[in-house]
Structure formats: C-alpha cells, structure tokens
Amino acid sequence: MKFIQISDPHLIGDERPSLYGINPNFRLEKAFESIKKWHSDAKFVAITGDLSNSASDLAYAKLQTVIKNSKLSVYPILGNHDKRDIFKSYFSEFTNDGFIQYTKKIDDKVFLFLDTLAEDKPYGELCDSRIKWLKNQLEIYKDKFIYIFMHHHPISCGLHEMDTVADFKTREIFWDLLKPYKNIKHISFGHIHRIMHSSKNGISLHSTRSTTFQVAYKPDNKIEYLTNEENPTYAIININKDGDTRVHHHEYMNEDRFYLGEC
Ligand SMILES: [Fe+2]
Ligand SMILES: [Fe+2]
C-alpha cells in the first residue's frame, strides 16, 4: 500500500503577495500535478497541517479547489497557523467531538489523523478530550496496524525554537498513552519544515519538507527560525506486508530533468 504526505503548504489568500518571495498556492498545485503523474495509485494524500499561513477564508477556499480538482482522496489536519472554525466552514467532514480528528480504515490498516492545534499558539497539545478520543481509537483498533498523522513533532528535533516555544507540550502523556500498543507502526508529522527520520519505543517517525519554505538546520541558533531555499518535497510512503514503512522524499519542482547515472 502506498500513500503520500504533503506538509505545511501555508496557503495565502490576498493578505500578502507571497511568502519569502514564494507563491505557496502555485507550489501546492505543482505537488498535486506531480502526485497525479507519478502516484495516481496512492490510496490517499495526507496534508499534515499549516494548511494556511494566516487562516484566511481565501486560503481554505484555494485548498478546497486544489483538492477537488485533484480527484484524489485527500485527508488534511490542522497546524498552528490554522483555525478550526474557518477550516470547518470549508471542510465539515473531518470533525469529531469538535476537533479535526478522524480515522480512516483502508484495507486492513488504520490511519489516525490527530488535531494538535492550540489556537493562536505556536506549540501543540492534546487536551483531555482529544486524549480520550485517541485512547478510544487505539482500543478499538488494537488488533490492526496503526499509522498516525499529526502536525507537531512528538520528539525533539534539535532546533531550539522548535523544541521550546513551538514544541508538542503533551509529549509525555502522548507516549505514555501509546506505550501499551505494539501495533502502532509509524508516525508522520510536519511543522518543522524539514526532512527528519527517527524512532521511539519501536515506532518509526518521519517529517517531510514544506511545499513552501524550509527551516535551516542550525542547531546553535537560539534566536529565531532561519528559513532557507531548500526545495520543497512530498513524501511517498510504502507499507509492506509486515506493516513496516519505506519513505522517499521527492523534490518535485524540477522533476522532469533526468540524467543516466551510476550509484
Ligand atoms: Fe508550518
Ligand atoms: Fe507549524
């Protein structure tokens, strides 16, 4: 089984012409163009949050149009730049208990989409209500392979701001909750605008780059985010018969330039 992850498109409405000289809307359209060309057999496309840059109506309207035109199954979650109520007015089908959290069962696998948004805050969290929902899903599907999607990084990423002011505040509660369930195979997240792979308690994790701007890996920088011009990516995740994942990150903006080479 194959699925695709797009992250952090930061779509804009008309509040500003571009982000760091980049047109986020164009880059998201290019990502979908590439996915349709190369991965039309993917079961779905997950978008792991920061769908909009400043939660404008026009940004969500744009997302709605791009998703509709793609004719793919697309499952979005929220990031710290999003707002639930505005998102819900465009996408009502992803709400459970008032949050944007939901479960998709595909073949014999289970995909859980979490809502880590703490509105108007850069950090993420799971409140009691969301923890209860997650616990319930884990119990219901304890005999299936489970794959989790969330915006905020549930592990340290080594970047000062991301691991302090913009981190996942309920990290310990989250991992305690997951601990008894050995059927959880993989977590896909966004937020850090970088490719990162890790593992914890036998669960593999990864993030992919934003479709718009990236965050430089400067571990000693304690002041602010440094954005840079690394190319956008989307991730291609294959699940094998044992439920294990294989993740590729694809730079799609110049994907038609091929060379014959040797490895
Ligand atoms: Fe982001
Ligand atoms: Fe974020």
- All residues at 6 or more sequence positions from 226 whose CB lies less than 8 Å from its CB, including other chains: 215, 216, 218
- Residue 146 predicted with pLDDT over 70: yes
CA of 253 to the centre of ligand 1 (A): 19
Tokens of residue 230, six digits: 């690394």
Predicted TM-score (pTM) of this structure = 0.96
CA of 151 to the centre of ligand 1 (A): 9
User: Which has the closest alpha carbon to 2: 250, 220, 196?
Assistant: 250
CA of 83 to the centre of ligand 1 (A): 13
CA of 149 to the centre of ligand 2 (A): 14
Nearest ligand to the CA of 162 is 2
Nearest ligand to the CA of 161 is 2
CB 74 within 8 A of CB 36: no
CB 191 within 8 A of CB 153: yes
CA of 232 to the centre of ligand 2 (A): 15
**Out of 3.20.20.70, 3.60.21.10, 1.10.10.10, 3.40.309.10, which CATH number does the structure's domain 2-251 have?**
3.60.21.10
CA of 50 to the centre of ligand 2 (A): 5
**223 confidence band (pLDDT: 50, 70, 90):** low
Collapse the DSSP code of 131 into the 3-class scheme (helix H, G, I; strand E, B; otherwise coil) and give the result.
helix
Q: What is the domain partition of the chain in residue ranges?
A: 2-251
Tokens of residue 242, six digits: 């044992």
- Residue 157 predicted with pLDDT over 80: yes
Taking CA 26 as the corner, what is the angle to CA 62 and CA 187, rounded to the nearest 5 degrees?
A: 75
- Residue 97 predicted with pLDDT over 70: yes
Element (H, E) at 235: strand 233-239
Tokens of residue 246, six digits: 């294989």
Q: Mean pLDDT, to the nearest integer, of 121-131?
A: 98
Nearest ligand to the CA of 78 is 2
pLDDT per position as a tens digit, 186-196: 999 999 999 99
